[in-house]
Structure 1
Amino acid sequence: MPDLLLVNGPNLGILGRREPEVYGTDTLADIERAVADEVAGRGWKVRAHQHDGEGELVRLIQDSYDTAGAIINPGALMIAGWSLRDALAGYPRPWVEVHLSNLWARERFRHESVLAPLADGMIAGLGAAGYRLAASALLGLVRD
Structure 2
Amino acid sequence: MSRLLLLNGPNLGILGRREPEIYGTDTLADIEKAVAEEVADRGWTVSSVQDDSEGTLVRAVNDHPDTVGAIVNPGALMIAGWSLRDALAAYPRPWIEVHLSNVWARESFRHESVIAPLAGGVVVGLGAYGYRLAAKALLHLVPE
> Is 1:38 equivalent to 2:31 in the alignment?
no
1:21-48 Cα deviation digits (max 9, x unpaired) = 0000000000000000000000000001
CA–CA separation in structure 2 for the residues paired with 1:61 and 1:5: 8
Q: Which residue of 2 aligns with 1:52?
A: 52
How well do the aligned residues superpose, as a CA RMSD in angstroms?
Answer: 0.4
Gaps of 5+ in 1: none
Q: Which residue of 2 aligns with 1:121?
A: 121
Find runs of 4+ consecutive structure 1 residues off by over 2 angstroms. Answer: none
Q: In the alignment, residue 129 of structure 1 is paired with which amino acid?
A: Y
Q: Which residue of 2 aligns with 1:21?
A: 21
1:85-138 Cα deviation digits (max 9, x unpaired) = 000000000000000000011000000000000000000000000000000000
1:46-92 Cα deviation digits (max 9, x unpaired) = 00110000000001000000000000000000000000000000000
CA–CA separation in structure 2 for the residues paired with 1:36 and 1:129: 13
Q: In the alignment, residue 67 of structure 1 is paired with which amino acid?
A: T
Q: Which residue of 2 aligns with 1:68?
A: 68
Aligned length: 144
- State the identity as a percent: 76
